[in-house]
Amino acid sequence: MKKTAGYTLIELSIALAVLGVVIVLIWQFVGFNSQYATSNSERGLLRSADMAITGFALSHNRMPCPDTTGDGREDCAGAAVGRLPNVDLGISQATAGQIRYGVYRKASATLTLDADLAVANDRMPMLATTARLAGSQLAGYDLFRSQRNGIDLCVGLRNASQNAPDGAMLHVVSPEANINVAYALSIAGGTNADQAGGLMDASNAGAGPAFEAPTRATDGNYDDRVVAVGFDRLIGRLNCTETLAAATHAHANAATAAEIMQQAMLDYKIQLDLIAKLAEANYAAALASIALGVAGVAMGAAEIALALAESLATLGAAAPIAALAIAGEVAAAIALASALINLIPATDAWDHAKDNVTRFAAEGYVTRSATLAAEIRANANAADAAGTY
* Residue 346: DSSP 8-state: H
> Between 142 and 244, where is the model more confident?
244
From residue 17, give the alpha-carbon distance in Å to each of 10, 265, 369, 384: 11, 101, 96, 76
Give the model's pLDDT for residue 164: 95
Give the model's pLDDT for residue 69: 94
Question: pLDDT by residue (tens digit) across 2-13?
Answer: 555 555 667 666
- In 10 A of CB 157, how many CB atoms? 26
Residues of the chain above pLDDT 70, percent: 67
Q: Is the pLDDT of residue 389 over 50?
A: no
Please give the mean pLDDT across all residues of the chain.
78
> Between 274 and 133, where is the model more confident?
274
Residue extents of the structural domains in the chain: 26-238, 248-386
In the sheet that 225-229 helps form, which strands lie side by side, from edge to edge? 81-83, 100-103, 183-187, 225-229
Contact 187/100 with Cβ under 8 angstroms?
A: yes
Give the model's pLDDT for residue 136: 45
Question: pLDDT by residue (tens digit) across 157-216?
Answer: 999 999 999 999 999 998 778 999 999 999 988 777 667 767 888 999 988 999 999 999
pLDDT band with cut points at 50, 70 and 90 for residue 139: very low
Give the model's pLDDT for residue 275: 86
Give the model's pLDDT for residue 145: 52
Span of 34-48, 130-144, 348-362 with lowest mean pLDDT: 130-144
Question: pLDDT by residue (tens digit) across 298-346?
Answer: 665 665 566 556 555 565 554 555 556 566 566 666 766 776 777 788 7
Give the model's pLDDT for residue 40: 64
Give the model's pLDDT for residue 302: 61
Q: Mean pLDDT across the stretch 253-280?
A: 81
Q: Mean pLDDT across the stretch 120-138?
A: 59
| CA neighbours closer than 13 Å in the CB half-sphere of residue 346 | 19
pLDDT band with cut points at 50, 70 and 90 for residue 32: very low
Contact 180/165 with Cβ under 8 angstroms?
A: yes
Angle of CA points 171, 119, 233, to nearest 5°: 45
Q: Is the pLDDT of residue 252 over 70?
A: no
Q: Mean pLDDT across the stretch 129-143?
A: 45
> CATH classification of 248-386, choosing from 1.10.287, 1.10.760, 1.10.1660, 1.10.3470?
1.10.287
Separation of CA 160 from chain center: 15
Give the model's pLDDT for residue 120: 92
Q: Mean pLDDT across the stretch 280-297?
A: 75
Q: Mean pLDDT across the stretch 88-108?
A: 92
Going by C-alpha positions, the residue among 387, 386, 377, 370 that lies closest to residue 126 is 377
> Between 161 and 347, where is the model more confident?
161
Give the model's pLDDT for residue 107: 95
From residue 250, give the alpha-carbon distance in Å to each of 142, 261, 386, 389: 22, 16, 18, 11
Give the model's pLDDT for residue 338: 76
Most confident of 98-102, 122-126, 186-190: 98-102
Q: Is the pLDDT of residue 373 over 80?
A: no
From residue 315, give the alpha-carbon distance in Å to each of 293, 307, 308: 32, 12, 10
Give the model's pLDDT for residue 312: 57
Give the model's pLDDT for residue 1: 47
Most confident of 159-173, 211-225, 247-261: 159-173
Contact 66/75 with Cβ under 8 angstroms?
A: yes
Please list, residue by residue across 230-248, b when 16 or more beta carbons sit within 10 angstroms of its beta carbon and e when fewer do.
bbeebbeebebeebbebbb
